[in-house]
A and B are shown apart, each in its own frame.
Chain A
Amino acid sequence: MLLLLTPGLVFIGAALIWPLLIMLRVSFLQRFPGPVVYTIAKYAALLDDNYFIDITLRTFGLGLVVTVATAVIGYPVAWYLARSPSRWRHLVFLGVVYPLLVSVVVRTVGWTILLGTQGVINKLLISLGIIHDPLVLMESFWSVAVGLVHVLLPFMILSIAAVLGRIDKSYSEAAYTLGATPMRNFVTVTLPLSIEGLAAGSVIVFCLTIGTYITPVWLGRGHVTVLAISIFDEMVTLVDWPTGAALGMLLTVATLLLLAAYGVFLSRYTKR
């Protein structure tokens, strides 16, 4: 068994663990490249600087908003895919999966055609006489959130649909037999049974959101700085690798804590 695991372990070790350890070391250096002097000053600066605190809060706030939005929008679609007897179900499935075949860069840039000052929405509103000057629909937190919901919705839908499809329909039927209304049936029977799918989808969407780069860059036009953009600025533009590494460790630790919480939730929930 160990022999079978070795190639995978070597790859993960070389491609994931080793770079993480290097990043951890660099985050404690005063300067890189340069003389080796260890310090916690970079971490102290991050915790003390309102600029980085704002960026961190904005990043996790974005994660929360996008996760909730994809859950609310995605659950009915997942329900349809898993439960509907309609013959158009497969087309809807294709519609959900198809965007994943297109690069996220292309999909994000495509939003400019809709939201730009010379975009479709503004041109339509101006031609209808509703507005005279174009609205600024990009360059904001919410335009970035909309773009991310569009990009990450398939992940939420597929996660929920996978679990919904495995739920025995006889549970719902039994609830109906015992007098439950459709709403009560959903809240007390179906939703609790599908919580694992919702949790899995939420973790995936949240982790991808807090690490996203191209969508905030393009739709935010420099006005919505999130952790990934700040890490790029520190590493590439300012060549301050220790600060960039410290930000990277912050993001990594937050993601690992979330995964750990998910693991604990899952193990307690399945025991019930």
Chain B
Amino acid sequence: MTPESNIAHAFKPSTKRRALIKGLLAIGAGGASLLRFAEALADASAADVASITILSQPGSIPDLLRQATFPPFAKDYPKTEVKLEIATNAVGYPRMLTQRNNPAISGGMFNDVFTQRGRSDGMWIKMDPALTPNQKKLAEGLSTPGGLGFPFQLQPFGIMYNPDRVEEPKSWNDLWSDKLVGKVVMWDAYYDAYIMASYIAGKGMSVEEGVKLWAPHKANIGAWVNSPVVSEDLVSRGEMLMAPHWGANTMQAIATGKKVAFTLPKEGGVQWTGHAEACVGFPSGVTELTQRYLDIWLSDECQMTWITKGFFSPASSAVSVPEELKSNPAIVSAEQAMKRLIRPDFVTIGPEMPRLTGMIQRTLKG
């Protein structure tokens, strides 16, 4: 055959049809194998899981997790890698919600608001006590109702301020001072400042009432943020002077050299609880390992790391706050928490988040 007729032969329709049929048969056979493989993967045991992905808050938390939780987990499950997805709840949770049909994050840490949002959205699984034995060490009254997750750390929500530029605020009403026009950082996704305003005005722990009380003072709000790190940065640089903020986060910022300080005003503050949650939609092996990994967060060693490196208050009754940290305003004992911190009804607040945030945007940002 001539080269031209070779080429023509190679592209003859009959040859193409046979190649196509062979290809389709191969896909069919391969597809069946793929299906069997997928089914096998779904039933894979914990020993076969290559990795689990855990949502972590940003800042110094990822380093704490790598230091305190990765080694003990790797010792028991050397074949499974723990990957951290680092994001605030305000950014990470909505992403998880939209990925729920094909989830990537099998568990993580969530604050009270997003824990309840996840509960109403059906995002969490019930923890198996056999896989999370450290739950027995939880301080009394701290267990999560219904067993959907468990608390692993506490911190007070008070006021962060720049100690070089302003005096320590004594009251939540100091945020409304005329000297602070345009100098206060606020959130529209977290409501504790509004709740405290309502509480000390005698109107209960109502976000709506708090927003109305803030309305005449909205000129004091200099910046709206959706990240604790941005808030700390603004106050540290002196661009802003005060911000309702978390105690442990403030202490972590101080440890990195930022010029901020934390105080719990005379009226007290809000108790924030960090919850460990495992997510729906994963094979049994992944779910088991996620729970086993999260259980490490309640181990004595990890609880002590939360206190000494993260400045969180312990959720476990088996661990005591070291003497040198007992005077730290960001670390509260169970007795102090009972006396000075209020616990809003996040079960109601969580699902109302879209409406409440919308109300804040219209009332205070307009």
Contact = CB atoms under 8 A, between A and B. Distances in A.
A139 B97 contact: no
A51 B222 contact: no
Interface in A198-243: 221-223, 225, 233, 235-241
Given A139-B182, A239-B98, A51 B237 contact: no
A139 B238 CA distance: 15
A136 interface: yes
Q: Which 4 A-B pairs have the closest CB atoms?
A: A222-B224, A221-B223, A238-B354, A239-B94
Contact of B224 (A118, A223, A239, A240): A223
Given A116-B239, A118-B238, A237 B365 contact: no
Contacts of B238: 117-118
A33 interface: yes
Contacts of B90: 237
A237 B222 contact: no
Given A51-B362, A117-B238, A238-B357, 18 more contacts: A33-B97, A51-B361, A117-B239, A139-B182, A139-B223, A221-B222, A222-B223, A223-B224, A225-B361, A225-B365, A233-B361, A235-B94, A236-B94, A236-B95, A237-B90, A238-B353, A239-B94, A240-B354
Contacts of A51: 361-362, 366
A173 interface: no
Interface residues of B, number: 28
Nearest to A52: B362
The size class of the interface chain A forms with chain B is 20 to 34
Contacts of A54: 366
Nearest to A118: B238
Contacts of A236: 91, 94-95
B62 interface: no
Given A118-B237, A222-B365, A223-B224, A237 B357 contact: yes
B340 interface: no
Nearest to B181: A136
15 contacts: A51-B362, A51-B366, A54-B366, A118-B238, A139-B223, A222-B223, A222-B224, A223-B224, A235-B94, A236-B91, A236-B95, A237-B90, A237-B188, A239-B97, A241-B98
A238 B358 contact: yes
B226 interface: yes
Q: Which of A112, A136, A238, A240 has the most CB of B within 10 A?
A: A238
Contacts of B225: 222
A136 B189 CA distance: 25
A223 B354 CA distance: 19
A108 to B, nearest CB: 14
B258 interface: no
Nearest to A241: B98
